[in-house]
Every structure is written in structure tokens, then in C-alpha cells.
């Protein structure tokens, strides 16, 4: 059994630093893309407070297709440029949305979602996937959360073999 330690007195930066070390340990010894994507989705859902969805959309042609995730059933395909995920895919920039209801074109998979972060996964210059997190709280994600979550995604990328998917 892999036990995840959380420290309630740590600062946001310290928390992500500690989580990142535990994530590296969790993913060590396994490089399969689907396996690590599933573990990573669950790890984030289990350790980051106030999330209602955590998971992947894989880049397939000109659209995103639902991958491993934790949360309620979700829309399966998102064209590039549509919604928050599609914007992350075309811009290759993290999208951090304070209030999804104020984001024109937001795709509501779970009506409870109020704020969202989507981080593109780019390997050797190619978009492989986006990693999406939803929260039922408006403004859940600060710039420190964004930086911490980007570090976790970087560790996932480092731990994973994408060669068959590129």
C-alpha cells in the first residue's frame, strides 16, 4: 500500500513540494503512459483539496479524447479551440479560470464545477494531452496552485514513456 502524507500546517508552496516528492516515489518504477496517467489523476484528486474532477484528455488529430480520470462521467471529445481544454490545447499555455461561468465557451461536464485549471502536456514539442482539474469553489486555484500543479505535471512527464503515443 502506498500511503500519502499530508501536512495541514505547511504553506501552499511547501505542500506542493512535499506532494511532488511523494508523486515521484509513487510513479518510480513504472513508465507506462496509461498506467501513470490513471495514477496521476487519482493522486491529484486524493491530495489536492476541493476538486470534483481530475483527469486527462488525449490529443487525437484535431480534437481531444477523454482519457483516465477521477470524477463524474464527462464529455468524450472536445475539438481544439473549444472550451477551456481546447484553449489549452491550441495555446499550449496553462488555462486558469477563476469562474467557469464567466468563460465564454466553457463546456460544463459536471454542473458543480466553478473553477478550473488545464495544463497542456507537451513532449518533444508535441501536444500529447491536457490535464484538467475542476473545483466546485470559485477561485479555488491561486497562482501558487498553478505553479505547484505545473510542477506535479512536470514530474508525471519525467516519469512517463510517451514513445508509443507520439
Tell me which residues touch ligand SME (CB under 6 A): 53, 74-75, 78, 83-86, 106-107, 109, 113, 116, 132, 134
CB of 84: closest distance to ligand SME in angstroms?
4
As measured in angstroms, the least distance from the Cβ of 163 to ligand SME is 27
Residues 6+ positions from 143 with CB-CB distance below 8 Å: 96
Q: Number of C-alpha atoms within 13 angstroms, CB side, residue 120?
A: 22
Taking the least distance from each CB to ligand SME, the nearer of 15 and 71 is 71
Residue closer to ligand SME (CB basis): 23 or 133:
133
Select the residue whose beta carbon is closest to ligand SME and give its number. Answer: 83
Separation CA 8–CA 6 (nearest Å): 6
CB of residue 89 vs ligand SME: minimum separation in angstroms?
A: 9
Are the C-beta atoms of 15 and 148 separated by less than 8 Å? yes
d(C-alpha 41, C-alpha 52), whole Å: 12
Q: What phi and psi values does residue 45 have, to the nearest 5 degrees? A: -60, -35
Between CA 163 and CA 104 the distance in angstroms is: 35
Smallest gap from residue 61 Cβ to ligand SME (A) = 17
Report in angstroms how near the CB of residue 18 gets to ligand SME at its nearest. Answer: 27
Q: Which is nearer to ligand SME, 12 or 105 (CB)?
A: 105
Residue 27 or 114 with smaller CB distance to ligand SME: 114
- Residue 85 to residues 36, 136, 152: CA-CA distances in angstroms? 20, 17, 18
Output 132 or 145, the one with its CB closest to ligand SME.
132
Amino acid at each position: 500500500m502506498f500511503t500519502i502524507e499530508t501536512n495541514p500546517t505547511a504553506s501552499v508552496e511547501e505542500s506542493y513540494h512535499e506532494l511532488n516528492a511523494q508523486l515521484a516515489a509513487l510513479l518510480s518504477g513504472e513508465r507506462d503512459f496509461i498506467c501513470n496517467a490513471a495514477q496521476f489523476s487519482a493522486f491529484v484528486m486524493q491530495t489536492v483539496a476541493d476538486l470534483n474532477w481530475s483527469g486527462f484528455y488525449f490529443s487525437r488529430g484535431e480534437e481531444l479524447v477523454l482519457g483516465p480520470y477521477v470524477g463524474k462521467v464527462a464529455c468524450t471529445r472536445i475539438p481544439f479551440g473549444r472550451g477551456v481544454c481546447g484553449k489549452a490545447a491550441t495555446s499550449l499555455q496553462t488555462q486558469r479560470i477563476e469562474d467557469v461561468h464567466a468563460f465564454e465557451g466553457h463546456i460544463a461536464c459536471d454542473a458543480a464545477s466553478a473553477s478550473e485549471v488545464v495544463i497542456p502536456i507537451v513532449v518533444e514539442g508535441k501536444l500529447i494531452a491536457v490535464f484538467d482539474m475542476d473545483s466546485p469553489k470559485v477561485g479555488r486555484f491561486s497562482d501558487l496552485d498553478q505553479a505547484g500543479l505545473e510542477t506535479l505535471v512536470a514530474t508525471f512527464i519525467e516519469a512517463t514513456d510517451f514513445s508509443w503515443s507520439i
